[in-house]
Amino acid sequence: VSSYHHGDLRRAVLDAALDVIATDGPAALSLRDLARRAGVSHTAPAHHFGDKAGLLTAVAVEGSDLLGETLADGPLELRELGVRYVRFALAHPAHFAVMYRPDLLRPDDPALVAARARTSALLRGALTTDRRDGNAPPGADTTSDPHGDADLAATAAWSLAHGFATLWRAGALTPALAGRDPEEVFRSLAGVLPA
Amino acid sequence: VSSYHHGDLRRAVLDAALDVIATDGPAALSLRDLARRAGVSHTAPAHHFGDKAGLLTAVAVEGSDLLGETLADGPLELRELGVRYVRFALAHPAHFAVMYRPDLLRPDDPALVAARARTSALLRGALTTDRRDGNAPPGADTTSDPHGDADLAATAAWSLAHGFATLWRAGALTPALAGRDPEEVFRSLAGVLPA
DNA sequence: TGTACATCAGTGAACGCGCGTTCACTGATGTAC
DNA sequence: TGTACATCAGTGAACGCGCGTTCACTGATGTAC
* Residue B62 contacts residue B112 (beta carbons within 8 Å): no
Confidence of residue A67 (pLDDT cuts 50, 70, 90): very high
Q: What is the DSSP string of A48-97?
A: HHSSHHHHHHHHHHHHHHHHHHHHHSS---HHHHHHHHHHHHHHSHHHHH
Contact A156 B27 (CB under 8 A): no
pLDDT of residue B142: 43
Provide φ and ψ at A73, rounded to 5°.
-85, 75
Is pLDDT above 80 for A64? yes
pLDDT of residue B141: 43
Contact A152 B189 (CB under 8 A): yes
Confidence of residue B74 (pLDDT cuts 50, 70, 90): confident
User: Can you tell me the distance from the alpha carbon of B13 to that of A5, in angstroms, rounded to the nearest whole number?
Assistant: 49
A23 Cβ nearer than 7 Å to chain C strand: no
What value does the mean pLDDT take over residues B96-101? Answer: 97
Contact B189 A163 (CB under 8 A): no
User: Can you tell me the distance from the alpha carbon of B159 to that of B156, in angstroms, rounded to the nearest whole number?
Assistant: 5
A24 Cβ nearer than 7 Å to chain D strand: no
What value does the mean pLDDT take over residues B79-102? Answer: 97
pLDDT of residue B123: 86
Q: Which residues of B touch A26 (CB under 8 A)?
A: 27
A37 Cβ nearer than 7 Å to chain C strand: no
pLDDT of residue A176: 79
The C1' atom of D21 and the CA atom of A43 lie apart, in whole Å, by 9
Nearest Cα of chain B lies from the Cα of A11 at a distance, in angstroms, of 26
The C1' atom of D1 and the CA atom of B1 lie apart, in whole Å, by 25
Length of chain A (residues): 195
Confidence of residue B124 (pLDDT cuts 50, 70, 90): confident
Is pLDDT above 70 for B148? no
A32 Cβ nearer than 7 Å to chain D strand: yes
Contact A171 B107 (CB under 8 A): yes
- Position with higher pLDDT, B4 vs B20: B20
Q: B112-128 in b/e burial notation, b at 16+ Cβ within 10 A?
A: beebbeebeeebeebbb
pLDDT of residue A134: 52
Give the Cβ contact number of residue A124 at 10 Å. 11
Contact A171 B27 (CB under 8 A): no
CB contact B22 to A (< 8 Å): no
Is pLDDT above 80 for B86? yes
The C1' atom of C25 and the CA atom of B43 lie apart, in whole Å, by 13
User: Can you tell me the distance from the alpha carbon of A67 to that of A72, in angstroms, rounded to the nearest whole number?
Assistant: 8
- Helix segments in chain B, DSSP class H: 9-24, 31-38, 44-49, 52-72, 78-91, 93-99, 110-130, 149-170, 174-177, 182-189
Residue of A nearest to B155 (CA): A189
The C1' atom of C21 and the CA atom of A39 lie apart, in whole Å, by 31
User: Can you tell me the distance from the alpha carbon of A155 to that of B24, in angstroms, rounded to the nearest whole number?
Assistant: 27
pLDDT of residue B113: 96
Nearest Cα of chain A lies from the Cα of B159 at a distance, in angstroms, of 4
What value does the mean pLDDT take over residues A18-30? Answer: 96
Give the Cβ contact number of residue A19 at 10 Å. 13
Task: Tell me the per-residue pLDDT of A48-62, one tens digit each, with 9 for 90 and over.
Answer: 999 999 999 999 999
In order of A53, A62, A64, A105, the CA distances from A111 in angstroms are: 13, 10, 11, 12
B41 Cβ nearer than 7 Å to chain D strand: yes
pTM of the predicted structure, to 2 decimals? 0.91
